[in-house]
Structure 1
Amino acid sequence: MVDDEPDIRATVKEILEDEGYSVSVAESAAAAREARRQQRPDVVLLDIWMPGVDGISLLREWGERGGLPGPVIMMSGHGTIETAVEATRLGAWDFVEKPISLAKLLLTIERALEAGRLRRENEGLKSRLPAPAEPIGSSVAMQSLRAQLDKLATHDTGVLIQGEAGTGKEMLARWLHERSARRSGPFVTVAPGSITSEHVAKALFGTEDGGSVEYGLIEQAKGGTLFLDEVAELDQELQQRLSSVLDRRAVLRCGGSEAIATDVRVIAATAQDLEALVREGRFREELYYQLKVVPLAVPPLRERAEDIPELLRYHADFFAARDKLPYRNFPVAAQNRLRHYAWPGNLRELRNLVQRLLILGSSPDVALDEVENALGSLGPTVPAPEAPRAERGDFGVDFSLPLREAREQFERAYLLHQLAAAGGSVGKLAKAVGMERTHLYRKLKDLGVDAKATARDEAS
């Protein structure tokens, strides 16, 4: 609450705290700037007429310097229609007249909080596949996974979800969040591989420059859950800074001089072997153990083939309802073929396949030849017998090298071979080797493989 009148500040603060709110007060624009720097408020009550910088000018300043800190409710004892219109144009959420009606103030704050929550949900959940009531599958592996999730949902501890690309790690993190005590708070996803390296720190920790403050994703997750998708993509410096945040429960913004307390549950996920990366010095040991308070292993789809029929029915129902597609049944022959498919893309590939078959098909039942055509050349149904050495190729790995360097030699040769087979297409390469495209681009860059040059060579 920002107001230059001490009696009003004290009275409103006392009333709101009696209602269960945590309230910070500021007597001027300067004090309000400092309060905003120290924490990200859910709602701001801002008086218009104050000595020095008035509320409208402060509202405009916030809008120009990193955005408004939250829904802003303007207050005034002698406002005009023009003033209210100007405040609304600058982003104010509502307008309350003095003397303040307690009933109206409480209702306005309640609605502002709800509006802020809905905005965060809309920003975070657009175009996402909603999490089912619980992870799907009756296999022993899924029964064990559900039992672990049920236990973790009642705790506030950090979780490290490990599993291959496409196994639904973010869906599990959302499921945990929705059943935790933090479910009314935001669920914020951080995907380092999708953010340019020079912007990751600012996006994650926020920035501070004089009076300008931009809240990072960690602060935006206040009171909720921060999901770190493929945490292995963080570089060493960011790993160290994140470790400090988890240790101190406070975040230091880029350009800031004082750490800001934070309240967030961290759920991390990776498709890589973090323990091996720690041994190789590519992932900080302290961060590894901070994230791995409780490890959760997600089985790949090929290891729970008995769940395929249930997954096919669920996704056929989902796409029929969401996209208004005609529902199609998967007969036993189609189910059996898909049960014996290797699923290199896991759940993500299955969802894509079901959606494609519903779009392209016209009959009530999915025919076996449709399944074969949809699968195409994505991968073998069962592991192929080992090829003779001459067919496998001589990769020229120097066995005198340390393990890490020898592995990089092999990986580079392997990816060059697969990239050539894919005609220089990174998209086809990602499917062939079963890797996320963003992770694959990073791997190719680390190994010095120029995909564009390979594509030109193939074309010529």
Structure 2
Amino acid sequence: MASGHILVVDDEPDIRSLVKEILEDEGYQVSVAENAQAAREARRQQRPDVVLLDIWMPDTDGISLLREWSERGGLPCPVIMISGHGTVETAVEATRLGAYDFVEKPISLAKLLLTVERALEASRLKRENEGLKRNIPVPLEPIGSSRAMQSLRSQLERLAGHDTWLLMTGEPGSGKESLGRWMHERSARRAGPFVTVAPGSIAREHAAQALFGAEDGNGVQYGLLEQANGGTLFLDEVAELDPELQLRLSSTLERRALIRCGGREPVPLDVRVIAATAQDLEALVGAGRFRDELYYQLKVVPLAVPALRERIEDVPELLHYYADFFANRDKLPYRHFPVAVQNRLRNYGWPGNLRELRNLVQRLLILGAAPEVELAEVEHALGAAPPPVRAPRGDGFDIDYGLPLREAREQFERAYLLRQLQEAGGSVGKLAKAVGMERTHLYRKLRDLGVDVKAMARED
């Protein structure tokens, strides 16, 4: 069954009615507008997946409306122009402004349906390509035969068939987003978008508009939440949301409708939410740093993703899998991991989890030439990212037990990160690997704790 929201803009009632009926019979959701002003309002109310736009209309012609949309933030989706007597100049102008295709009057229903289907497919491929530019394409399968992975895969397969919201917990690099994508591809929403929202990577002053969109007299900007309509919204490290955004998101999820910045009317929101975090949200709720209502909204089904060291028996299988993957994807020579190398890597702590293993395999395939990976290569690669150094007891740091929990924790975190930063030679990149944090999150944490990395570097 087809899916997607189609906006039909035409001043002829018979054509609007006929096209709406045909598209709805095919399973599409259809909105209609009789002129440019009605089209603007329909677009404001709900983001379309495809627009069928008549060129000749009494108030504002289709080319002018197409130009307006194109100049105010870009076209919202593929736009198919409808024309009964278009000229070459009109076609050239519409193409320049980004029109996807033309359908001539009298409308051939077979061609109309084929053009709409192709436009939706082009839009889907564009979203996927944009996603691949933002994220390194990696395998999505939950690889591993350990008891922990067998149990996790069984849970994922059961949950993929349901539309329930999930809260994934697990250390950075453990593969939470990949598992979310894997579930999306096996869900009833697989034809819809998979949109990742990473609050920690969005500047605070722009976060509300980026998430919820914006509207004013100049047009509409669709936010990430609205872009996920009909699909899956993946909230990566949800604990990084500011308190104000937590409240707004909670209200949005409760009503299943959002209000854009500057807007007044709610916009329907139909998404499956998969949230992920490496932090203890329950502890953050208790400390007043995360809203309890949002926590319970997201925690419909909790799902714990094991760290790689908790399923170390999967390492040999993962090594072979990624060696094969990168050999095929990047046209690299395949290299075999002998037992001695497998054993060394089984006994490694993997502070960076699955991401670290994946990057290690890719690096060994790129830099190595021999058919077999040698133990010396592995030792050298692991030596570039030393495991975390444990500070000995009695190193001079004392916790002030008279402080509130939050302040005491911050006192410890500052001392801990300062010590680890010294061990890393002032390198934030090495520090991020050592403490198992994303670099973006780590920079924010250091700033919040008053640690000036540049000043320390100057002192050295």
TM-score range, shorter chain: over 0.9
What does the per-residue CA deviation read over 1:174-230, in whole Å, with 9 as the maximum and x for residues that have no partner?
A: 011000000111111111111111111111111101241011111111111011111
**Alignment-derived partner of residue 51 in structure 1:** 58
**Alignment-derived partner of residue 24 in structure 1:** 31
**Alignment-derived partner of residue 441 in structure 1:** 443
Shift in Å at residue 387 of structure 1? 6.4
Letter in 1 for 2:396: D
Matched, 1:414 2:416: yes
Shift in Å at residue 388 of structure 1? 5.0
**Alignment-derived partner of residue 399 in structure 2:** 397
**Alignment-derived partner of residue 454 in structure 2:** 452
2:147 to 127, 130, 140: 140
Letter in 2 for 1:255: G
Matched, 1:130 2:138: yes
SS at match of 2:168: strand
Letter in 1 for 2:116: I
Instruction: Spell out structure 1 runs of 4+ moving beyond 4 A.
Output: none
**Alignment-derived partner of residue 383 in structure 2:** 376
Matched, 1:5 2:3: no
**Alignment-derived partner of residue 4 in structure 2:** none
Q: Please give the root-mean-square deviation of Cα atoms over the aligned residues, in Å.
A: 1.4
Shift in Å at residue 277 of structure 1? 0.5
Distance 2:97 2:249 in 1: 35
Contact kept, 8 Å, 1:229 with 1:268, in 2: the verdict is yes
Distance 1:85 1:266 in 2: 42
Distance 2:143 2:25 in 1: 44
Unaligned runs of 5+ in 1: none
1:232-311 equivalent positions in 2, closer than 5 A: 232-311=239-318
Distance 1:434 1:18 in 2: 52
**Alignment-derived partner of residue 190 in structure 2:** 183
* Alpha-carbon spacing, 1:165–1:245, altered in 2? closer, same or farther (3 Å): same
Contact kept, 8 Å, 1:191 with 1:228, in 2: the verdict is yes
Contact kept, 8 Å, 1:131 with 1:174, in 2: the verdict is no
Query: For structure 1, which segment, 330-339 or 425-434, has the greater mean C-alpha deviation from structure 2 after superposition?
Result: 425-434
Distance 2:364 2:136 in 1: 20
Shift in Å at residue 439 of structure 1? 1.1
The alignment of Structure 1 onto Structure 2 pairs a total of residues equal to: 452
Shift in Å at residue 260 of structure 1? 0.2
Letter in 2 for 1:389: R
Contact kept, 8 Å, 1:427 with 1:437, in 2: the verdict is yes
SS at match of 1:351: helix
Shift in Å at residue 397 of structure 1? 2.1
Letter in 1 for 2:405: L
2:75 to 57, 65, 68: 68
SS at match of 2:29: coil
Distance 1:302 1:131 in 2: 20
**Alignment-derived partner of residue 332 in structure 1:** 339
Shift in Å at residue 377 of structure 1? 5.4
**Alignment-derived partner of residue 5 in structure 2:** none
Letter in 2 for 1:259: P
Letter in 1 for 2:322: H
Contact kept, 8 Å, 1:192 with 1:230, in 2: the verdict is yes
What does the per-residue CA deviation read over 1:222-279, in whole Å, with 9 as the maximum and x for residues that have no partner?
A: 1110111111111001111111111000011111111100111111111111111100
What does the per-residue CA deviation read over 1:21-44, in whole Å, with 9 as the maximum and x for residues that have no partner?
A: 221111111110000000011111
Letter in 2 for 1:111: R
Shift in Å at residue 110 of structure 1? 1.3
* Alpha-carbon spacing, 1:284–1:331, altered in 2? closer, same or farther (3 Å): same
Letter in 2 for 1:340: N
TM-score (norm 2): 0.96
Percent identity (aligned): 79
TM-score (norm 1): 0.96
Query: For structure 1, which segment, 283-292 or 422-431, has the greater mean C-alpha deviation from structure 2 after superposition?
Result: 422-431
What does the per-residue CA deviation read over 1:431-459, in whole Å, with 9 as the maximum and x for residues that have no partner?
A: 2212111111111111111111111112x
Letter in 2 for 1:400: G
**Alignment-derived partner of residue 206 in structure 1:** 213
Unaligned runs of 5+ in 2: 1-7
Contact kept, 8 Å, 1:162 with 1:271, in 2: the verdict is yes
* Alpha-carbon spacing, 1:23–1:412, altered in 2? closer, same or farther (3 Å): same
1:155-234 equivalent positions in 2, closer than 5 A: 155-234=162-241
SS at match of 2:350: coil
Letter in 2 for 1:168: G
